[in-house]
Amino acid sequence: MNNLPLIFEHFFKRLFIMILILAIGIVGLPTMVILSQPQNFKNAMYTLSHPNALKSSVHLSNQSINPKTQNKASSNKTSDQLLAMGWLTGENAQLTTYQELKTVSPLFATIGADTQIHMDLSASSIKTLHDEGKKVWGRVTLSTQSDATTQHFLENTGKMTPLIHGLIARALQTKLDGINLDIEQIPAVDRSAYSQFVEKLSKATKQTHLTLSIDLQPEDSTIPHLATYNQQLGKDSDYIIYMGYDQHWSTDAKPGPVTSLEWLEDNIKQFINTGIPPQKLVLGLPSYSRIWQVDKNGETISSSALSNEYINTLMQEEHNKETWNPQLADYYTSYNKNGKHYEVWLSNNRSLLAYLELINKYHLGGVGFWNLNMISSNDWNQLMKQFNSTHKSTF
Answer whether residue 146 is part of any domain. yes
Q: Write the CATH number for 114.
A: 3.20.20.80
**Residue 59 falls inside a structural domain:** no
Instruction: Indicate whether 339 belongs to any domain.
Output: no
- CA separation for the pair 319, 336 (Å, rounded): 12
Query: Is 255 part of any domain?
Result: yes
For 77-121, what is each residue's pLDDT tens digit?
Answer: 445 799 999 999 976 668 999 999 999 999 999 999 788 999 999
Q: Is residue 122 part of a domain?
A: yes
Is 228 in contact with 240 (CB distance < 8 Å)?
no
- Asked if the structure places residue 236 within a domain, the reply is yes
pLDDT by residue (tens digit) across 185-236? 898 889 999 999 999 999 999 999 999 999 999 988 788 899 999 999 999 9
Domain extent for 256: 79-286+348-388
Measured distance CA(59)–CA(339) in Å, rounded = 64
Round to whole Å and give the CA distance between 282 and 359: 8
Render pLDDT for 271-327 as a digit per residue (tens, 0 to 9): 999 999 999 999 999 999 999 999 999 999 999 999 999 999 999 888 888 999 999
> Is residue 122 within 8 Å of residue 174, measured between CB atoms?
yes
> Cα 365 vs. chain centroid, distance in angstroms?
11
Domain assignment present for 321: no
If one counts the domains in the chain, the total is 1
Model confidence, pTM: 0.80
Alpha-carbon distances, residue 156 vs 112, 288, 349 (angstroms): 12, 36, 44
Q: pLDDT tens digits for 9-43?
A: 555 566 666 666 665 555 444 444 333 343 333 33
Domain presence at residue 104: yes
